Amino acid sequence: MSLPALADDGPDLVLLAGFKAPAGVPKAVQKRAEFFVFFAETVFPLLVQYRPRLAPAYHAGFGRPALEPVQLLAVLMLQFVERLPDRQAVEAMQYDSRWRLALHLRTGEAACDPSLLSVFRDRLLSRGHERLAFEAVLALLVAEGWVPKRSKQRLDSTHICGLLARMSRLECVRETIRLALEAVAERGVFPAEWAALWECYVEGKVDPRSTSETLKQKVREAGVDLQNILAWATQQGARWEQAEEIQLLRRVFGEHYELDASGVLQSTRAATRGGPKSP
């Protein structure tokens, strides 16, 4: 992908004015807004300084122009602070005016596909850029009191990238399960014993700042739940086995899990990028 020239003249002044003149806005709400103003005015310009080091990872002769890597780096920062997985981060990027202000997005500028965040993290890791800007920016966030300092690991950029990457993988599996559960519920055949699954996958979400071991355990648990839903569909006969949501569930299971020689469910080492989309 080619990398276009950076054309950034600061945050959207109309948005910025709205955030800086919050007449009648409760203090708690105003405080949250102040973080995004701080990010737009202080953090984003700091990230721009790292663009020359990101540019060599893009090649003018390959493909269409890339999304601005400074914005992608900023998204990674925001999603870590906000505890959002890739899909929800991109939704915020598109529809949340606070995120749009922080990312210097203009009116009419669209968000990226969630899979691009995964690609960008891989690009950072493969070129040894995982520490690029993370320590400096996170240290600044801690110093300004926006992120509580808990330990040295808190500022370990490799750790952060790794957690978000595993979260993306887990999110793909969870999203597929959600679609299947909603499809079953819409057809009025939702088993009563699946109430806990509904609470977990439809109403709940995973904190991407969970420990590595916690995320791995959730990947294993999701695999077991996915396997059980597939077994239920098989028992229901061809009508459910051939349903689009179940076929998608089966494909994702094959991409993310396998059974070892003793028949124990294992997570595969690699996963297909992208993930399911809502019909």
Residue 248: what pLDDT?
Answer: 87
In the predicted structure, residue 273 carries a pLDDT above the cut 60: no
Which helix H or strand E contains 265, and what residues bound it? strand 265-267
Rounded to 10°, the helix 114-126/86-95 angle is 120
Listed range (48-62, 67-81, 84-98, 213-227) with the worst mean pLDDT: 48-62
pTM: 0.56
Pairwise CA distance, residues 78 & 40, whole Å = 11
Across all residues in the chain, what is the average pLDDT? 77
Tell me the mean pLDDT in the region 136-142: 75
Name residue 257's amino acid.
Y
Give the percent of the chain with pLDDT over 90.
Answer: 10
> Which runs of consecutive H residues, i.e. helices, occur in the chain?
13-20, 27-38, 44-48, 51-54, 69-82, 86-95, 97-102, 114-126, 134-143, 157-186, 195-198, 212-236, 238-241, 244-256
Is 27 buried (19+), middle (13-18) or exposed (0-12) by CB count in 10 A? exposed
Per domain, the residue ranges of the chain are: 13-155, 167-267
Residue 86, SS3 per DSSP: helix
Query: Per-residue pLDDT for 271 more than 50?
Result: no
**Whether pLDDT at 94 is above 90:** yes
Q: What is the predicted pLDDT for the residue at 115?
A: 82
CA 152 to chain centre: 23
The encoded tokens of residue 257 equal 């899990």
* Whole-number Å distance between alpha carbons of 109 and 44: 17
Q: Please give the Cα distance from 251 to 241 (Å, whole number).
A: 12
pLDDT at residue 196 is higher than 70: yes
Contacts 24+ apart (CB under 8 A), 14-19: 15/97, 15/100, 15/101, 16/40, 16/101, 18/97, 19/98, 19/101
**Residue 100: what pLDDT?**
93
